[in-house]
Amino acid sequence: MNKLPTYFEARKWASFRIQNLTQVDMTAIDFLLEKQLGLTTVGLLSHYRDVMTAEQWQKFQENVDQLLGGKPVQYIVGQTDFYGLTLAVTPAVLIPRVETEELVDWVLTETAGYQSDPLRVLDIGTGSGAIAIALKKNRPNWQVTASDISDAALKVAEKNARNLQTPITFVQSDLFQNLTGSFDLIVSNPPYIAISEKSEMDASVIENEPAIALFAPQNGLAIYQRLAHEADRYLTPAGRLFLEIGFRQQAQVENIFHTSMPAATVIAKHDVAGHERMIEIKK
């Protein structure tokens, strides 16, 4: 391409580059264009005839090369969208998935009667801060604490909280190690993938996203076992624990909590695709 392209021509050029690559689709290209150019989806459509500057075109070509090399588009642009929010992401944090949006939605639905109450809420393994920030944005009166074992992840989460003006308390902690007090709600999307499942995973995930946020010992169940053993002491008498789980783990996680917290009620919920994805434990 000898002349500077319009946005539409740049998109078409990228489509030819990816046409034989099943791991990249036009959704990623559109996301790349939108975030690079600072446009919404509608804005991109309305500006398709605009001509790129030389700097924009050069950057877009470099970004597409990274995408073709297997780097997730969210890390390329340093942003992702989650529950109506734009969050900064780096390779220090997991890229939030749509399943986690469903977990947030479930928490908000299940606690609709407590919108104005100053509930004490804990997000364990916050990563980018996605869950904690989404909950705080939708329930401003809640007192939200977010923890993570990774200092690098907490720096990303703190940046997102500042950018989105959500006052959250951040604590570096291995589960409950550095936490005190009790909470009305504890929410977590912990690492739950078994090492043995690595061969089934997308190479771009394994090569780019933090292993500490993906994999757990004991066939992916180690963190659930620890939570089941420790959470009771940190929940208020009517406290509730919401967890994301792997899509084949429901029976095992239910059994873990029935064993460690026999007086609790365990409720499972499937995602919109019908997969086992969420567990609620009520004291």
Which residue numbers belong to the known binding site?
A: 125-129, 148, 189-192
Half-sphere exposure for 182 (CA within 13 Å, toward CB)? 11
Known binding-site positions for substrate: 189-192
Please report, as a single letter, which amino acid is at residue 225: Q
Q: What letter does residue 95 receive in the DSSP assignment?
A: P
- Beta bridge partners, 88, equal 79
Q: How far apart are CA 163 and CA 157, in angstroms?
A: 10
Please say whether the beta carbons of 271 and 277 come within 8 A. yes
Q: CB neighbours of 43 closer than 8 A, spacing ≥ 6? A: 34
HEC letters along 203-229: HHHHHHCCHHHCECCCCCCHHHHHHHH
Dihedral angle, C-alpha 216, 218, 219, 223, nearest 10 °: -40
Q: How far apart are CA 29 and CA 11, in angstroms?
A: 7
Known binding-site positions for S-adenosyl-L-methionine: 125-129, 148, 189
Where does 12-167 show beta strands of DSSP type E? 79-82, 85-88, 120-124, 143-148
- Beta bridge partners, 280, equal 242, 267
